[in-house]
Amino acid sequence: MEDKATIAADAIELILLNQHAIRAAIEELSLWVSQRGSTTTHDNVLTTLQTLDINTESINAIITSLRS
C-alpha cells in the first residue's frame, strides 16, 4: 500500500495536469478574442495566466517534496 505522501503527491499532480489543460483552453479562447480585435482583454488574460505559471513552480516543489 502506498504511503499518504505518495497518494497526496499523485493527487496534486493530477490537479496540476488539470490546471495545465484549463490554462491552455483559456489561452486558446484569449487568442480567439484577440484575433477579433479585443487585444486589451487578451493582454489581461495573459497577465492573469502568469499567476498560474508562478503557482505551478510552487506546486511542482511540493510534489517533489512529498515524493522524497
Q: Return the percentage of the chain with pLDDT > 90, whole number.
A: 97
Cell numbers at 43, concatenated:
493582454
Each residue of 16-27: b (16+ CB within 10 Å) or e? beeeeeeeeeee
Mean pLDDT taken over the chain? 94
The mean per-residue pLDDT over the stretch 44-54 comes to 94
Span 23-48, pLDDT tens digits: 999 999 999 999 999 999 999 999 99
